[in-house]
A = this chain, B = another copy of it.
Amino acid sequence: MSSSPAPDAPITGEQIFTRVAWALRRADLNLQTAKERPLREIGIPGSHYSVLISLQVTPGVTAAELARVIGVTPQAVALLVAKLTASGMIERRTHPRHRSVQELHLTDAGREELAKAEYIVSDLERHIRDSLGDKSYRQLRELLGQVIDELPNWVPPQTDRGTVDPAADQ
């Protein structure tokens, strides 16, 4: 709230706030920042949690797969893996068939660390479910699933290329 005399918000009817994309971004942003602080207090950055929970869900996943799941580049994952391996949270095992591929697994210490984080994250999830009620909670989950499934089908509109874009193509 700024220091304008009239309490009425001067946000003249913009249709931006009615967008699902905007609401989705705001919701996820608030969600991430909400859980980031308590996680850091127990010494687990959000990125580390993402790795640990992914390994719990999908043991033996490769770094490249992991990168796609948590939405960062393989290089970023390599750095995370190096740290978590150094601190004994996870371990790398050579793939039985593909010798150049490294499978990632949680160690017992990693599972223990993850449990502490889960105590916080599951509490947040419970808060959301309690706030919305069981019916709306399931509805929201269903609708988000539909969005996730449909998003890859979107084809960006062509922005009169050929005039602006010389020949750059990948």
The size of the chain A interface, using a CB distance under 8 A, is 77
In the complex, which residues 71-98 of chain A have their Cβ closer than 8 Å to any Cβ of chain B?
71, 97
Q: Say how far A14's CB is from chain B's closest CB, in angstroms.
A: 5
Q: Given that A11-B118, A14-B56, A150-B131 are contacting pairs, would A140 and B141 also be in contact in the complex, using a CB cutoff of 8 Å? A: no
Given contact pairs A24-B27, A24-B31, A26-B148, enumerate 15 new A-B contacts (beta carbons under 8 Å).
A11-B118, A14-B57, A16-B53, A21-B35, A23-B144, A24-B144, A26-B144, A27-B151, A29-B71, A30-B148, A30-B152, A31-B151, A34-B152, A127-B150, A140-B140
Chain B residue with Cβ nearest A23? B144
Chain A residues packing against B (C-beta within 8 Å):
2-3, 8, 10-14, 16-21, 23-35, 37-38, 41-42, 53, 56-58, 62, 65, 71, 97, 111, 115-116, 118-125, 127-129, 131-132, 136-137, 139-141, 143-148, 150-154, 156-157, 159, 161, 164-165
